[in-house]
Chains A and B, each alone.
Chain A
Amino acid sequence: AQSVTQLGSHVSVSEGALVLLRCNYSSSVPPYLFWYVQYPNQGLQLLLKYTTGATLVKGINGFEAEFKKSETSFHLTKPSAHMSDAAEYFCAVSGSGNFNKFYFGSGTKLNVKP
């Protein structure tokens, strides 16, 4: 079985500051890991994903995440926050089997202060 824990339901940073959103997962099989962003009243947009290969993955809008198997973590970072980054972010895990049902964390709302 898979599950995701996102530490911090709300994170607030100043514009230009580092963004760090935490995600820990549990999985009984090699995981596929994803970060999605959701703007108000919108669906979810894929930011980045880890499946195999390089453990540091880069996504859209300057975000990146590192898969650390020993820590069962997949934290999302961005060196410099922009006002447009204010949104809710969801980490998700799926098994690497043929059926990729996703398990989502409860989300982290990012607030960016001017």
Chain B
Amino acid sequence: DTGVSQDPRHKITKRGQNVTFRCDPISEHNRLYWYRQTLGQGPEFLTYFQNEAQLEKSRLLSDRFSAERPKGSFSTLEIQRTEQGDSAMYLCASSQTGGDYGYTFGSGTRLTVV
């Protein structure tokens, strides 16, 4: 088990471009989460999947953001028409069913919009 993998680690993009990030969770984890972390802040919840179903989306996730988890395996997070305010670390985490399991986080994708 190699943990939670995120790709790419760093992404620099011009304002207005679209970007897509990928997350590969731990294989036996059926829950997958996306969080966003800006400088000097703790992670903020964006969205959550149980298997392939997206069960909750934060109001932070504007219409320009979309996440998918086809077949309940890896997940992608797409940001369309990026803005400078989207610059942040995007963290993926996975867990087993049950609230008493801590998340396992990936190393994150750092997005810089110039």
Contacts and interface: CB of A to CB of B under 8 A. Distances in A.
Interface stretch (B12-20, B62-70, B71-79, B103-111): B103-111
A100 B95 contact: yes
Nearest to A51: B100
Nearest to A52: B100
Interface string A64-99: 000000000000000000000000001010111111
A2 B63 CA distance: 26
A33 to B, nearest CB: 10
A101 B32 CA distance: 11
A88 B43 CA distance: 12
B105 A43 contact: yes
A101 B56 contact: yes
Nearest to A100: B99
A80 to B, nearest CB: 25
Interface string A94-111: 111111111111110000
A95 B100 CA distance: 9
Contacts of A92: 42
A101 B44 CA distance: 10
B48 interface: yes
Contacts of B43: 44, 90, 102, 104
A82 to B, nearest CB: 23
Nearest to B43: A104
Contacts of A28: none
A105 B43 CA distance: 8
Interface in B1-34: 4, 6, 33
A4 B45 CA distance: 14
B102 interface: yes
B98 to A, nearest CB: 8
A104 B102 CA distance: 13
Nearest to B6: A43
A101 B48 contact: yes
A97 B97 CA distance: 11
Nearest to B99: A100
Interface of B: 4, 6, 33, 35, 40-45, 48, 55-56, 91, 93, 95, 97-108, 110
